[in-house]
Amino acid sequence: MLGKAEGFREAQVENEPPIDVPWSFFDLAEVNLYFGEAKKALEVAGRGLELSTVDWMPGTFLKSLELLPEDGSLEGLAELKAMVTARQEELAG
């Protein structure tokens, strides 16, 4: 199922213009995180964060990330949460 989700969301973020912004980026970043591709997860999330226009957008993504285990099994999770938090705070002003 994750593979299907990855393909679906990847097609959306690669569309010109991207579809379902920023959610498609956030979902794809999370899938990449699950697959152990931390660098790609951070890159995709960064693109979604750049396209976020109000603080609740990254805030919603952060709430989802906070449900994940912080036991070290998901490489890049802490860095991703920090990046999302920073963008949320930036947008909040």
Distance in angstroms (rounded) separating the CA atoms of residues 44 and 54: 18
Q: What confidence category does residue 73 fall into, taking pLDDT thresholds of 50, 70 and 90?
A: very high
Segment 36-68, tens digit of pLDDT: 999 999 999 999 999 999 999 999 999 999 999
Angle, CA 33 vertex, CA 21 and CA 37 arms, to 5°: 110
Q: Residue 9: which of 54, 34, 18 has the closest Cα? A: 18
Q: What confidence category does residue 74 fall into, taking pLDDT thresholds of 50, 70 and 90?
A: very high
Rounded mean pLDDT of 21-50?
98
* pLDDT value, residue 9: 97
Predicted TM-score (pTM) of this structure: 0.96
